[in-house]
Amino acid sequence: DTGVSQDPRHKITKRGQNVTFRCDPISEHNRLYWYRQTLGQGPEFLTYFQNEAQLEKSRLLSDRFSAERPKGSFSTLEIQRTEQGDSAMYLCASSLILAGQSYEQYFGPGTRLTVT
């Protein structure tokens, strides 16, 4: 399967711990996006990359959230000092931007975070 993959699929952590999630996009895609989704709500955009450049990060929820895409391939999302309110599904998506035209996003299965 060559779709977007995320690891881990589930994460349970205690409040105050740091967590890191990984996303592997579709290989030829140059854009990668991170979202958070809580129950009953649509995905909430967090940040995105084009290749290794982080083009938008003002929507990250707080300075406890950070993301990297060091070589323009996989990406990591880190949450420091987790809080119970961080419990949610974290989704990653990728897309291809080619000759100025943007194509649809392909979403991964998500990482479900539970903070106890």
Partner 1 sequence: LAKTTQPISMDSYEGQEVNITCSHNNIATNDYITWYQQFPSQGPRFIIQGYKTKVTNEVASLFIPADRKSSTLSLPRVSLSDTAVYYCLVGDPDNYGQNFVFGPGTRLSVLP
Among 42, 63, 70, 71, binds partner 1 (CB under 8 A): 42
| Residue (91 or 115) nearer to partner 1, CB | 91
Tell which phi-psi region holds residue 109, choosing left (phi > 0), alpha (psi between -120 and 50) or beta: alpha
Residue range at the interface with partner 1 (CB under 8 A); choices 13-21, 45-53, 66-74, 80-88 = 45-53
Contact between 106 and partner 1 by CB under 8 A: the answer reads: yes
Q: For the CA atoms of the chain, what is the radius of gyration? A: 14
Q: How far apart are CA 79 and CA 67, in angstroms?
A: 9
Site size for partner 1, by CB under 8 A?
Answer: 28
Count of helix runs (H) and strand runs (E) in the chain: 0, 13
Residue 49 interacts with partner 1 (CB under 8 A): yes or no? no
Single residue of 56, 62, 83, 98 touching partner 1 by CB under 8 A? 56
Alpha carbons 31 and 20: distance in angstroms, whole number: 20
Q: Which of the ranges 12-20, 67-75, 79-87, 97-105 carries the binding residues for partner 1, by CB under 8 A? A: 97-105
Q: What angle do CA 91, 102, 7 make, to 5 degrees?
A: 20
Q: Which residues bind partner 1 (CB under 8 A)?
A: 4, 31, 33, 35, 40-45, 47-48, 55-56, 58-59, 91, 93, 97, 100, 102, 104-110
